[in-house]
Amino acid sequence: MKRMTLSEKVFKILAYVLLTIFALCCIYPLIFTLSTALSSEEAVNYSQVYLWPVGLQFDALLYVVRSADYWIAYSNTIFFTFYGTIVCMFIAITGAYALSKKRLLWGRGFNFLLVLTMWFNAGMVPTYQNFLRFGINNNRFGYLIALGFSAYNIVLLRNYFSSVPYEIEEAATIDGANEFQLLTKIYLPMSKASIATVTMFYALNHWNSYAWPRLLLSGDYQPLQVYMRNFISNQLGGDGATNLPAAPNAIQSAMIICSIIPIIIIYPQLQKYFAAGVNLGGVKE
């Protein structure tokens, strides 16, 4: 086994030290949020919480668990994330498959228009006006369809589909496979890494979406992010603060902790596909 030189040892030590510091900086906000949610009202109001809970209590978490409005917003977020990801993946997979084919009529023109949308767009105000004219406002299913397109993710899948050897498709075609069978029996099984990556991109985008839901959805259709923002605004405005069983900041932290539980559970399961999926879909030989 080759011995490391002094410079290699120094570099390795520095790399581990820097990565450790970076990891601690990333995890500290999560620890601080959890500690705030579990701390007493006095400790939170007087900024006595730094790392561990001070005056351990569960009033903030219990308030969130018992809040019907919070869980309505939570269910809306799950609905938009689940069905929105399905709609987005259907558009991305079918669009990427078609654009990856050289035999597609006017294929270069379609690919150019797709990439053009990544460089130029009409802006938020014209887009919002178009959504209103098409009746997207406070329409859950229209909202899912209107926001179901992402040029970047389609390009990612298109590049990977293009890397599938043509000989495999040709052999399947000779055996009598049609386009639907080529997509479902060959391309999808061979593209699991890229598909898992794009699926996670879409799911995270829907889960964290705030701007468009706030503009297009209201009432019982609002997702969790909009609900939490309204809660924070109400507390800053002094509305209802005296009716809370815990400090407003503690309740906000409890809401945040409850909202990230699904991501903490699901994200590590798909993380192994990320590097492979991005590399395979983002680089075309």
Binned at pLDDT 50, 70 and 90, residue 283 comes out as very low
Q: What pLDDT is recorded for position 16?
A: 94
- Report yes or no on 145 lying in a domain: yes
For 105-156, the pLDDT digits (tens) are 888 888 888 888 888 877 888 888 888 888 888 888 888 888 888 888 888 8
CATH code of the domain containing 97: 1.10.3720.10
The total number of structural domains that make up the chain: 1
- Report yes or no on 43 lying in a domain: no
- Report yes or no on 37 lying in a domain: no
pTM: 0.80
- Report yes or no on 41 lying in a domain: no
204, pLDDT greater than 60: yes
- Report yes or no on 276 lying in a domain: yes
Q: What pLDDT is recorded for position 281?
A: 46
Q: What pLDDT is recorded for position 90?
A: 93
Q: What pLDDT is recorded for position 272?
A: 66
- Report yes or no on 56 lying in a domain: no
Q: Read off the amino acid at residue 276.
A: A
For 42-76, the pLDDT digits (tens) are 888 888 888 888 888 888 899 999 888 899 999 99
**Boundaries of domain holding 198:** 67-282
* Average of per-residue pLDDT across 264-284: 62
For 167-189, the pLDDT digits (tens) are 888 888 888 888 888 888 888 88
- Report yes or no on 249 lying in a domain: yes
- Report yes or no on 40 lying in a domain: no
Q: Which residues contact 144 (CB under 8 A, 6 or more apart)?
A: 80, 83, 84, 87
* Average of per-residue pLDDT across 96-101: 88
Q: What pLDDT is recorded for position 274?
A: 61
Give the 3-state secondary structure of residue 59.
Answer: helix
pLDDT mean across residues, the chain: 84
Joined together, the tokens standing for residue 247 give 């400090």
Q: What pLDDT is recorded for position 282?
A: 46
Q: Report whether 246 contacts 66 (CB < 8 A).
A: no
Give the 3-state secondary structure of residue 246.
Answer: coil
Q: Read off the amino acid at residue 125.
A: V
235, pLDDT greater than 80: no
From residue 136, give the alpha-carbon distance in Å to each of 57, 131, 172, 208.
43, 5, 42, 20
Q: Which residues contact 98 (CB under 8 A, 6 or more apart)?
A: 104
